[in-house]
Structure 1
């Protein structure tokens, strides 16, 4: 048993929460401070007996969480920045952010209302007024804070992140009110209709990106607004500034996109059928993006996600194996239950095997070992080169009109290289990338996807170094057609043939019970790809979403 602890609470009048509202603080900075002792006095205190200080550990109590949250929110509401910051585990960052809240964001008359605690997390609502040069607008939003125990002394503190101040802030970002540096835009679909986040919720981040890219050149005039100004880390992650409150309207410029209103509306509807779904539809013949949608609207996973693509990666790997004469559609190809490589043992789903089967059969049933078995015949950089030179991926040079993640296929060795062949290891993609892969197979050549025509700003688009040979391309189309007709994609693609092709995928994620489900396919002059995170098999989850959009025709 450890030493018996006693808690000495030194305080004047602790803050109270009345009807969910934080009452005024009485008694100054000594409010609600807890000193934890082991023995008669703390180590280092005058008159100490030499007993060592006992540091409180273990889960936070409801009282500790509630009291810490009350202290922080009360001090913030009263404008006592230093006291509020001292209640966090990063007082310097908190001081800067809370000072900027008043000085840069020009927010005043702040009222904070605490909600019901859940564990160490306390939600709260914020109401205030944004004022700039005589113009005022109300501000209201919800946020939350989490209380943690400081390791060195056990003191409960607010776990500081910029998102405590506003949920749209990432660390390093700040809130700013003033004349925006970038004029607003009016984004149009391909038919001339206006695109708004109210009508198409998934397009919020897309519209932010379009404004950042084209606002200054589209002919508009800047207005006055409260906005999220991105810091270095967010800029590196390709996040755009975000408008929160518009105080004075600017004059928007006009930007026409390639989005189809019918397909965009359908995509928005389809992703609501799964908890964490994302999908992209594009045109193989020229690279036009026709729709993009995500179940969650805070981050554009469809364009900027970085996820292991699972077996959809086998489209790229198959092109490599066929190019190197290591596989051929109708030739016999090994598909054992397991294969060892680089010290790892790789399995098929449920340890199935195909005895005496062809490569086409292995592809259609998504046999992992059929691909891993060829790793010993490949160089470490072969898959990377194939992804870059044929499919235009993993070079960080796409210019679609808004920020994107362009896929990553790093050079790896041993077991990680083998895992990359089946879309695991270090390989990372998103639906835009995988829709482009399907488009490349359908078109026979890589066309960089784009949301705004390159002719608008004369930007240079990415190109691939080479095209697949006619023989390899023909075999890849046969593999994807057979999978759509008879393989793991058959149920989702039923009735869509004969000019079609598909590949399913499931990607394991550490700590996640179900894999991410992937699906990429084409039909006529449409190609699409989707992912359902933690959804399970791609044919059952992402497949119906993609197929429903392809059914709408070219």
Structure 2
């Protein structure tokens, strides 16, 4: 009778099988399921012994291997057997640390881990649990997935470890932590005193997170209790991505931070980028550097401020200023624009292989002639473009302090073909819409004004400065180039009706393994300057141009 009772007991704790996968209930059932799939040290020893006498399995994973491995991992994790679960991954040490922290640091008690339908080598699953801290609790539910891989040395299928297995917002070095928030919440205001929320402005989530991280302790608020993603410490010279709140157990008292954002222009920016799947835009005031609007189609990353993309021909603004300074080009003088130019072993060409015979530099700029710039590479030193970008346009020195994390552009010193490619915004040059809005603003005013989202008077921080301004001659010619491009060049269609105090430059940046280039557009009208990019958008005048032009029109 005793043996029959024990057998019956085991039957009651057996996990339910749904669609070939196990619905893992935390507790005895979870352990039963794990034992079923060969988990535990004893099973590992038996497997290792048997493996010595078997050929190493190779090739694609079978559906059964994927389901079994995923179910075993989820069951062990659900049962609190973190060491056993970690042993079923290809990085047991990292997995054990993360899974242990899930309960210890994040203070999450699991209720269920429910697998979904297998898709190839991956199995999605849903997590349901409770977050508890000092008597306060909140439910937690989210989806993640595991991907199974085959270990090369012995063919054993294992969970390919990624921090995102624990939570989809986790990246390498990040942690889930529940406790008093490291920074109090902030109430961010626009320039008119209205509150900025993601309900009104969906793409401002990363900006609001950044404002809280920087100003939460200075704005007079008190911290609440939260489950949040704590990002890894930033390496020297890098911006740390903002922490992210996942569950609020108790709200703190917010402090107040006023920004330079214009509510009408911000609404227009949100509207414009929503028309494209991967668009970003920034609008600033050239005379001061105030940021008036920022928006991204994708709300998970602030490409407008933190993106690092080749800017294509919009970089020709910086290059033109360099060539004019050195006497290698002049707006109304003849300048070569052949079909092809070879430099450093690379053959460069223009879009559709056009050429301009006996044309001026202004005509080459307006038509975006690549060879007009590449042809001058042999007369330049390797660091000339880098020095021009830093000294005149304030780029690439990692010293902008806009109020939230930002990438300040990069124009590295390069040689041979890569140096030539940099002249047309390819090679190692990297920018984002904030950088390029600043570039066209500097061309308009003649002097770099570091963009900012929060006035430096709020925290007495020092804004970056450039070591020199454009000479009056170079500035005058640069404005002429940009005005002509807006009136009669590649930017004319987008800028129609916005003159005469305007200027623009288009760009198309080629990206490896991407069918269409990234489309760029940067322009000014009056005391407004903007820039946008549409990833894989094609020609910048057609893709990013209407977005930027709409903002310039709305602000006029």
Q: With structure 1 as the length reference, what TM-score do the two structures score?
A: 0.92
1:291 alignment partner, one of 290, 293, 296:
293
1:88 corresponds in structure 2 to: 89
Retained in 1: the 8 A contact 2:33–2:72? no
Cα distance in 1 between the residues matched to 2:51 and 2:106: 49
Q: Does 1:443 align with 2:448?
A: no
Cα distance in 2 between the residues matched to 1:502 and 1:188: 31
**Deviation per residue, 1:116-170 (Å, 9 max, x gap):** 3332233222221111111111112222222222222222222211111112111
Structure 1 residue 518: deviation in Å? 0.6
Structure 1 residue 340: deviation in Å? 0.6
**Greater CA drift, 261-270 or 13-22:** 13-22
**Greater CA drift, 256-265 or 125-134:** 125-134
Q: Does 1:470 align with 2:454?
A: no
In structure 1, stretches of 5+ residues that fail to align are 1-11, 35-41
1:112 corresponds in structure 2 to: 113
**Deviation per residue, 1:176-222 (Å, 9 max, x gap):** 11111211111001111111122212111111111111111111111
Secondary structure of the equivalent of 2:281?
strand
**Deviation per residue, 1:340-385 (Å, 9 max, x gap):** 1001111111111111111111111111111000000000000000
Cα distance in 2 between the residues matched to 1:552 and 1:103: 51
More helix by share: 2
Q: With structure 2 as the length reference, what TM-score do the two structures score?
A: 0.92
1:543 corresponds in structure 2 to: 545
1:100 corresponds in structure 2 to: 101
Structure 1 residue 45: deviation in Å? 5.0
Secondary structure of the equivalent of 1:519?
strand
Closer/same/farther in 2, CA of residues 16 and 355 from structure 1, 3 Å limit: farther
1:380 alignment partner, one of 369, 379, 382:
382
Secondary structure of the equivalent of 2:542?
coil
2:509 alignment partner, one of 490, 507, 510:
507
Cα distance in 2 between the residues matched to 1:310 and 1:117: 42
2:308 alignment partner, one of 306, 309, 319:
306
Closer/same/farther in 2, CA of residues 248 and 481 from structure 1, 3 Å limit: same
2:247 corresponds in structure 1 to: 245
Cα distance in 2 between the residues matched to 1:161 and 1:43: 25
Closer/same/farther in 2, CA of residues 47 and 474 from structure 1, 3 Å limit: closer
In structure 2, stretches of 5+ residues that fail to align are 1-10, 40-45
2:497 alignment partner, one of 482, 489, 495:
495
Retained in 2: the 8 A contact 1:14–1:32? no
Cα distance in 1 between the residues matched to 2:388 and 2:321: 8
1:329 alignment partner, one of 306, 327, 331:
331
Retained in 1: the 8 A contact 2:174–2:230? yes
Aligned length: 533
2:218 corresponds in structure 1 to: 217
1:8 corresponds in structure 2 to: none
Cα distance in 2 between the residues matched to 1:423 and 1:46: 59
1:68 corresponds in structure 2 to: 69
Closer/same/farther in 2, CA of residues 337 and 186 from structure 1, 3 Å limit: same
Alignment RMSD, CA only?
A: 2.2
2:5 corresponds in structure 1 to: none
Retained in 1: the 8 A contact 2:268–2:554? no
Cα distance in 1 between the residues matched to 2:108 and 2:265: 40
